[in-house]
Homo-oligomer: A and B are copies of this chain.
């Protein structure tokens, strides 16, 4: 049996998962790629740290040059995270004609172009399945399975932390803070949860998927972003009443050669398969002009699921599957498409207001919506206390700019106390 030597950069959660899979599934992997894979070197910060896997100390190194200068190492697997030195080390490996696999969403979303270009120039392969959706093979789907399609739309639940929180709020009636606390206790959320909760993590992943799907460079700042911190249990309850479930969605859409890119909470119909994507699971819905509706569901994080994608990439390189990275990077570089301003996007909306319980208030508000071309699908009125009522509007599809102007004007009405919340509705059309 032929042998191949590889190096891992980083031995955290995912690195240990990769090590475990390479050992546990040794027979399957060897059969699937035709090579015995030997982890020859692992770059770590501290060789003496105690780790969850048994790994011979002599292969641990703190010096990247031990890997760069070992010409027998054919594949470098970057699992450090963060932008630097991950970017520098990957470029260094490519310049030394080593193939590169990474699970690093941040560096791909921010410096992907540079890495694709270097891989092209050096004629090496650069795979990154684990960077989006953990174990879900979304990158391969976009780059290889859907090549006969023009991709029209992506809708993803691509952040496990927020999905866990929203699931707890939906199924167990917790409020946001309780659910966040539990997520932190269970290790699903970090001590500083802002990257997940405010939608940044989803923004990076959406940028990677959109760049490949729509064949364009994506500027992160062009992605509209809204987190889940403002979702109240009362909104969850209203969603249920109307037949919806609230999820944090990442949406990419191309119409007339222009893109819409946004990350925000949205109501999805409870009869859609995405509505049953619960806990820390992820799912990505793709609409192609030939294939129609397609959805992938699975574990978006975790050592073994993410490791599964990483090892799958290593095997693909060993099978000499040369089509993926080169073509996608070409695709990546060629065009820059216009991204529409969020105000030009359109959606159905759920709008919850706190108003004074006086005759005529409903008519007054409805008139404002009408004036701005926002057509109402349904209204619910619930008494909150002696003086105040909760008014919930579901709109037909309306331009975001028009909704924003309506809301602004409604806010000036005497009998309106407060705009409590506004949440988009995604019907997968």
Contact = CB atoms under 8 A, between A and B. Distances in A.
Q: In the complex, which range does the number of interface residues on chain A fall in?
A: 35 or more
Nearest to A303: B290
B308 A299 contact: no
Contact of A292 (B29, B129, B278, B304): B304
Contacts of A136: 294
Nearest to A151: B28
A145 B149 contact: no
Nearest to A34: B327
Contacts of A299: 291-294
B292 A294 contact: no
A298 B149 CA distance: 14
A276 interface: yes
Contacts of A290: 17, 21, 24-25, 135, 304-305, 307-308, 311
Interface stretch (A184-192, A318-326, A398-406): A318-326
A280 to B, nearest CB: 11
Contact of A312 (B24, B144, B292, B320): B144
Interface in A28-47: 28-29, 31-34
Interface string A121-164: 00000000100000111001100111111100000000000000
A319 B327 contact: yes
Interface stretch (A267-275, A387-395, A419-427): A267-275
B272 A316 contact: no
Given A25-B150, A140-B144, A273-B283, 10 more contacts: A21-B290, A31-B215, A144-B312, A144-B316, A146-B312, A147-B311, A290-B304, A294-B296, A295-B295, A319-B323
The 7 A-B residue pairs with the shortest CB-CB distance in the complex, in nearest-first order = A148-B311, A319-B323, A137-B145, A290-B308, A135-B291, A291-B308, A294-B298
9 contacts: A25-B149, A28-B150, A34-B327, A135-B294, A137-B146, A145-B309, A147-B311, A148-B315, A275-B276
